[in-house]
């Protein structure tokens, strides 16, 4: 099975005050950290950029990742998910499943990605849980891509599609920190 990681990093970070892809966290940009983590778990990595995409592309070390631009990033995360899945459709070779991860989760680990990726199959749907709460990463088997693309709207991504289908929940409690950075930590400026 070939599983590709899709890092969603296109948002403008309205609540944060800047695109999260350009946020520095513990010595590197969030997008660099997300790509490195994804590369440790998957051979194929796509990163979807949008807000200030040219600045991110010029600034960030995205070695080992294929970069896709989402021209509709302002419409919400669903457009980035669609961009990533559509990009995988045209990828050389066959990708059986997409492992979706977010740029603003610096506590994500290769172990959590690998735990969910272990369920990869063309017909698979799986989601990481932390203390019983669903979060990321999310695994979408190839057979579900068209349905996800057709139902993803706004900032919901695949949530509605997953609610209507049988999904394997993978307990990742203790493997990663599922917290996302919605706003700057206290005392940290929101823009350079």
178 occurs within a structural domain = no
Tokens for 112, please give them. 């959590």
**What contacts 112, CB < 8 A, 6 or more positions away?**
128, 137, 172, 175, 176
pTM for this one? 0.93
Q: How far apart are CA 155 and CA 182, in angstroms?
A: 14
Domain that holds residue 48: 3-171
180 occurs within a structural domain = no
Into how many domains does the chain fold?
1
Q: What is the CATH number of the domain that holds 28?
A: 3.90.550.10
Helix axes 30-41, 110-117, angle to 10 degrees: 50
189 occurs within a structural domain = no
Could you tell me the mean pLDDT of each successive run of 10 residues in the chain, 192 residues long?
94 89 94 97 96 95 96 95 93 89 96 98 97 97 96 90 97 96 63 50
Can you give the pLDDT at residue 187?
54
Can you give the pLDDT at residue 90?
80
40 occurs within a structural domain = yes
51 occurs within a structural domain = yes
80 occurs within a structural domain = yes
Can you give the pLDDT at residue 91?
78
187 occurs within a structural domain = no
């Amino acid at each position: 099975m070939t599983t590709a990681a899709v890092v969603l990093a296109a948002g403008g970070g309205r609540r944060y005050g800047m695109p999260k892809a350009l946020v520095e966290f513990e010595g590197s940009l969030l997008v660099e950290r997300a790509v490195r983590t994804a590369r440790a778990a998957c051979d194929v990595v796509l990163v979807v950029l949008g807000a200030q995409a040219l600045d991110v592309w010029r600034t960030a070390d995205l070695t080992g990742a294929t970069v896709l631009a989402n021209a509709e990033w302002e419409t919400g995360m669903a457009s980035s998910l669609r961009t990533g899945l559509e990009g995988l459709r045209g990828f050389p070779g066959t990708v059986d499943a997409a492992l979706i991860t977010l740029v603003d989760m610096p506590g994500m680990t290769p172990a959590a990605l690998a735990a969910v990726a272990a369920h990869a199959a063309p017909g698979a749907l799986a989601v990481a849980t932390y203390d019983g709460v669903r979060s990321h990463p999310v695994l979408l088997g190839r057979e579900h891509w068209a349905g996800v693309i057709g139902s993803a709207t706004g900032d919901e991504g695949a949530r509605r599609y997953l609610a209507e289908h049988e999904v394997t929940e993978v307990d990742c409690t203790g493997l990663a920190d599922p917290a996302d950075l919605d706003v700057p930590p206290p005392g940290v400026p929101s823009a350079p």
